[in-house]
């Protein structure tokens, strides 16, 4: 493990900066009063907590896109599923404090005239069980979906399109009231988690801390995978799948294992996200969310893992600023950023930072291989076709 | 048709999914590869037409034939990439190649070098060889990683054999075309195959590189069974013991280089279609 840290200086420094700010925020909230220059308010805490969840999600996408070549345009679905499980747990914690005061049924079920809890809501009031489901539900879905997709050798743009179909199907399903997940409105009005009030600053700080912790753990799990021989096999599959098969690797299982791990990490990110923002609804399954996610990773820099963290945080910070000033323009701005980055900095922000050193710059120009360029073309086509579909709707 | 017996099914399943890498060809009759009556058509075009091919243990066989003679399709069938419409293909007497997928066939001991060298450009020469290294190739074993000292020795030995020791830490992309071909051959050797299928090993090579490749292949003769598919007649002459001529998916002639070249049918096929 120590060896791993030593070889990953950049990743460690990115995480170091994050921890520095997280600790600063914790201190700022604990030791200073409102009005003081160093005081950190609840809004900033949840905002940063949210960014960190996005960062974990982006790392998990980079694992499968950057290292395995699977451009999933539906990866946020696993984030949504993890979020929904956490939402169900939080719903059950409301108890009699809901509008209708039913000790068992959440408000929306009373509203639908349901008289008992559906079977799939049973047990989620126990935190340990919910925690288990947070990784199992996305993991099992990814496994089943991946098994059929990889077994029938769907890859490239076609795989991207069916991942998008997956998230779209989930969105449609969750919008229905009969599904029993609150339909359009989703799950909200949460009160407390493990007995701690969600509106108290100390709970928020704890969630922020946990987000940073799970980001770190998730990052190192991914780092461990990509720097092992397994990671080499993954890159081999990315660069020449057929060739890897002829070397005796059963590609399906390799893809499946990594895809499932990535889905589980996304689920954890979603579960940490929901208590901080206080709501989960089907809009998280909208294909556009997954596409934005891909853009974070592309902008940050693919196949580096820490690039995904940088991209997720910077783009979301920009989004926060931009939507405050000029709300309608955000998607245009995002599209513009994506186009400019893929044309001028195919290796993303991380690539630019590395290129500041001139020597490294020349090297990076050399290593800008055809495979990266092809991938960019492929990805842009996939994005364009999905956007086209969007516009038809 | 016989009803599938459950234990038989279980055995077959286990053979296919669990213990495939323990499969070894049974060559007690001295034959390593049997291809019998294989036919494969694509949209009505018969790429392979009733093809019979027998390869002996330890043999170095060259396969020649004009473009479209079915050489690549034949390789695809042996390595599991394509399933034939009819016929059978056995590796030794016990392994039915038509039942296995590509990775299982590779694990059973058939290695293939492609026409276009596909070494991994973003990996070093060493890493390329390590990737191809024989041994269990499951998710868990690769995650745990690590190599035994025998494996390291083997890698260094192959590195020596293909003459790329000085470039071992260089990325695949800086290699010349010929060096890539050798690296690919090296990767093939790392798999410890019983049978090597080598598709056009000298395409785009200079004279010296060709000689070196011939030397390399000849040094493997005896310890490995090798099938070489090649267009370059001079090269074939320099290594061939026995040559098989394919034409329109069928074996046209088989024998020594001189025998084959004096065969009137072969002369007609070659002189009629190309300048070779």
DSSP A168-217: HHHHHHHHSGGGSS-GGG-EE---EETTEETTSHHHHHHHHHHHHHHHHH
First to last CA, chain A: 49
Interface contact B123-A228, CB threshold 8 A: no
Interface of B with A in 213-272 (CB under 8 A): none
Considering only CB atoms, B145 lies closest to which of A228, A239, A369, namely A228
Q: Which chain B residue has the Cα nearest residue A238?
A: B120
Interface of B with A in 79-118 (CB under 8 A): 79, 81, 101-104, 106-107, 111-112, 114, 118
| Residue B205 neighbours by CB distance under 10 Å | 20
Q: Which of A228, A239, A246 sits opposite B143 (nearest CB)?
A: A228
Q: What CA–CA distance (Å, rounded) separates A251 from A256? A: 8
Instruction: Using pLDDT thresholds of 50, 70 and 90, give the confidence band for residue A173.
Output: very high
Could B142 and A371 be called an inter-chain contact, meaning their C-beta atoms sit closer than 8 Å? no
Q: What are phi and psi of B252, to 5 degrees?
A: -90, -40
Ranges A8-12, A68-72, B158-162, most confident: A68-72
Report the distance separating Cα A77 and Cα A84, nearest Å: 10
Q: Is the dihedral of CA B73, B256, B50, B248 positive or negative?
A: positive
Phi-psi region of B202 (alpha: psi -120 to 50; beta: other; left: phi over 0): alpha
> Superfamily assignment of B24-273 in CATH?
P-loop containing nucleotide triphosphate hydrolases (3.40.50.300)
ipTM of the complex: 0.84
**How many Cβ atoms from other residues are within 10 Å of residue A184's Cβ?**
12
Distance of residue A251 Cα from the nearest chain B Cα, in angstroms: 8
Nearest by CB to A240, from B101, B111, B118: name it: B118
Kindly report whether the global pTM for this prediction surpasses the value 0.90: no
- What is the domain partition of chain A in residue ranges? 2-392
Backbone CA torsion sign across A189, A195, A198, A200: positive
> Residue range A170-186: average pLDDT?
94
Query: Are the beta carbons of B102 and A246 separated by less than 8 Å?
Result: yes
Q: Which residues of chain A have a Cβ shorter than 8 Å from any chain B Cβ?
A: 225, 228-230, 232-233, 235-236, 239-240, 242-243, 245-251, 253-254, 257, 367, 369, 371
Reduce the DSSP state of residue B243 to 3 states and report it.
strand
CB contact under 8 A, B145 and A246: no
Cβ contact B104:A219 at 8 Å: no
What is the residue-wise DSSP string for B137-199? Answer: --HHHHHH----HHHHHHHHHHHHHTT-GGGTTSBGGGS-HHHHHHHHHHHHHHT--SEEEEE
Question: Could you list the pLDDT tens digit for every one of the 276 residues in chain B?
Answer: 444 455 555 555 555 544 444 578 887 778 899 999 999 999 888 899 999 999 999 899 999 988 888 888 999 999 999 999 999 999 998 999 999 999 999 999 999 988 787 899 999 999 999 999 988 888 998 998 888 899 999 999 999 988 899 999 999 999 988 889 899 999 999 999 999 999 888 888 888 888 888 988 888 888 889 999 988 888 888 888 899 999 988 899 999 888 888 888 888 887 665 444
Provide the 8-state DSSP code for B4: P
What is the per-residue pLDDT across B149-206, written as a single tens digit (0 to 9) for each? 999 999 999 999 888 999 999 999 999 888 898 999 999 999 999 999 998 888 888 8
Query: Which residues of chain A lie closer than 8 angstroms to B107, CB-CB?
Result: 248
Crossing angle of helices A229-239 and B125-132, in 10° steps, is 100
User: Which of A235, A242, A253 is opposite residue B139, by nearest beta carbon?
Assistant: A253
Strands (DSSP E) contained in chain A are 187-188, 192-193, 196-197, 279-280
Q: Cβ contacts (< 8 Å) between A253 and chain B: which residues?
A: 138-139
CA distances from A112 to A120, A204, A282 (A): 17, 32, 18
Sign of CA dihedral A133, A170, A250, B135: negative
Return the closest-CA partner of residue A122 out of A147, A91, A143, A100.
Answer: A91
From B122, B123, B139, residue closest to A257, measured CB to CB: B139
Q: How far apart are the first and last CA of chain B?
A: 50
Q: Do A250 and B106 touch (CB under 8 A)?
A: no
- What pLDDT score was predicted for residue A372? 52
């Amino acid at each position: 493990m120590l060896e791993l840290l030593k070889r990953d200086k950049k990743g460690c420094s990115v995480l170091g900066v994050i921890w520095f700010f997280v600790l600063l925020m914790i201190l700022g909230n604990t030791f200073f009063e409102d009005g003081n220059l160093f005081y950190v308010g609840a809004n900033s805490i949840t905002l940063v907590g949210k960014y960190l969840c996005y960062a974990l999600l982006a790392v998990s996408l980079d694992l499968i896109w950057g290292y395995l070549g699977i451009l999933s345009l539906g990866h946020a679905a696993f984030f949504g599923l993890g979020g929904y499980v956490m939402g169900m747990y939080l719903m059950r914690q409301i108890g009699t404090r809901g509008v209708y005061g039913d000790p068992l049924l959440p408000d929306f079920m009373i509203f639908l005239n349901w008289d008992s809890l559906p079977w799939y809501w049973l047990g989620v009031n126990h935190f340990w069980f919910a925690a288990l489901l947070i990784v199992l539900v996305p993991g099992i879905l990814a496994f089943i979906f991946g098994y059929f997709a990889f077994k029938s050798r769907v890859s490239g743009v076609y795989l991207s399109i069916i991942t998008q179909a997956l998230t779209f199907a989930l969105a449609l399903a969750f919008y229905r009231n009969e599904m029993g997940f609150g339909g359009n409105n989703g799950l909200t009005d949460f009160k407390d988690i493990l007995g701690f009030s969600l509106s108290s600053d100390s709970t928020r700080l704890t969630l922020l801390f946990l987000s940073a912790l799970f980001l770190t753990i998730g990052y190192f799990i991914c780092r461990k995978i990509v720097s092992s021989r397994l990671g080499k096999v993954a890159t081999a599959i990315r660069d020449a799948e057929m060739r890897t098969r002829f070397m005796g690797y059963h590609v399906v299982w390799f893809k499946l294992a990594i895809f499932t791990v990535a889905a589980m990490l996304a689920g954890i990110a979603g579960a940490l996200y929901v208590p901080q923002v206080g709501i989960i609804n089907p809009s998280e399954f909208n294909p556009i969310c997954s596409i934005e996610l891909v853009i974070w990773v592309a902008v940050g820099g693919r196949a580096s893992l820490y690039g995904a963290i940088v991209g997720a945080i910077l783009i979301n910070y920009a989004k926060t600023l931009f939507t405050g000033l000029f709300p309608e323009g955000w998607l245009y701005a995002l599209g513009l950023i994506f186009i400019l980055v893929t044309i001028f900095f195919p290796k993303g922000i991380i690539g630019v930072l590395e290129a500041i050193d001139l020597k490294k710059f020349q090297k990076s120009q050399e290593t800008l291989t055809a495979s990266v360029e092809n991938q960019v073309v492929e990805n842009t086509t996939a994005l364009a076709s999905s956007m086209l579909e969007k516009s038809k709707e | 048709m016989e009803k599938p017996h459950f234990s038989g099914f279980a055995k077959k399943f286990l053979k296919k999914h669990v213990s495939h890498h323990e499969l070894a060809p049974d060559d007690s009759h001295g034959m390593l590869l049997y291809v019998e009556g294989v036919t494969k058509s694509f949209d009505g075009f018969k790429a392979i037409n009733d093809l019979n091919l027998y390869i002996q243990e330890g043999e170095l066989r060259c396969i020649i034939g004009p473009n479209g003679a079915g050489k690549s399709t034949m390789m695809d069938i042996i390595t599991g990439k394509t399933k034939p419409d009819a016929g059978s293909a056995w590796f030794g007497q016990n392994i039915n190649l038509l039942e296995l997928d590509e990775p299982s066939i590779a694990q059973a001991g058939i290695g293939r070098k492609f026409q276009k060298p596909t070494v991994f450009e973003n990996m070093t020469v060493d890493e390329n060889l390590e990737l191809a290294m024989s041994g269990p190739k499951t998710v868990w074993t690769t995650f745990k990683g690590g190599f035994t000292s025998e494996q390291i020795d083997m890698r260094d030995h192959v590195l020596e054999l293909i003459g790329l020791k000085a470039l071992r830490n260089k990325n695949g992309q800086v290699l010349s075309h010929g060096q890539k071909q050798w690296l690919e051959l090296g990767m093939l050797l790392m798999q410890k195959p019983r049978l090597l299928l080598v598709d056009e090993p000298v395409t785009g090579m200079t004279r010296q590189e060709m000689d070196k490749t011939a030397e390399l292949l000849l040094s493997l003769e005896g310890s490995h069974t090798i099938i070489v598919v090649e267009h370059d007649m001079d090269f074939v002459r320099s290594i061939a013991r026995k040559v098989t001529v394919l034409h329109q998916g069928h074996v046209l002639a088989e024998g020594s280089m001189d025998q084959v070249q004096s065969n009137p049918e072969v002369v007609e096929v070659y002189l009629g279609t190309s300048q070779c």
